[in-house]
Amino acid sequence: MSIIVFDKEKHESVDGIEIGDADSKRMLEAYINYCLKQHRSNPREIKFAKSSIDFSNELTHNRTANLMDAELCYTAVVSTVNIIRTINKYNT
Q: What is the pLDDT of residues 11-55, one digit of tens each?
A: 999 899 999 999 989 999 999 999 988 877 788 888 899 999 998
Q: What is the pLDDT of residues 43-92, one digit of tens each?
A: 888 889 999 999 888 888 888 889 998 899 899 999 999 999 999 898 86
Give the DSSP letter of residue 11.
-
Of residues 9 and 60, the one with the higher pLDDT is 9
> What pLDDT is attached to residue 32?
92
> What pLDDT is attached to residue 62?
83
CB 3, CB 21: distance < 8 Å:
no
